[in-house]
Amino acid sequence: MAQTSTSSPPVTEEAFLADRQQFFQSFTSFTTGTIITVAVILLLLAFFLVWL
């Protein structure tokens, strides 16, 4: 039977906070990028709808 390795959660409070900060930074970067992409697409749709 194959062994599966599971990553253990951070042990110390400092490691836990660093892990949460890294996750939050990644999440906010993804969310910001997604919102900017959607806004650009909507602006392009409006441009082509009105001027073409």
Give pLDDT tens digits for 2-35: 566 566 766 788 888 999 999 999 999 999 999 9
- The identity of residue 23, as a single letter, is F
CB 19 within 8 A of CB 26: no
In three-state secondary structure terms, 14 is helix
Q: Please give the model's pTM, rounded to 2 decimal places.
A: 0.67
Could you give the CA distance from residue 52 to residue 38 in angstroms, rounded to a whole number? 21
The pair of three-digit structure tokens given for residue 38, joined into one six-digit string: 């959607």
At residue 39, the pLDDT reads: 98
A 10 A CB-CB count for 27 gives 10
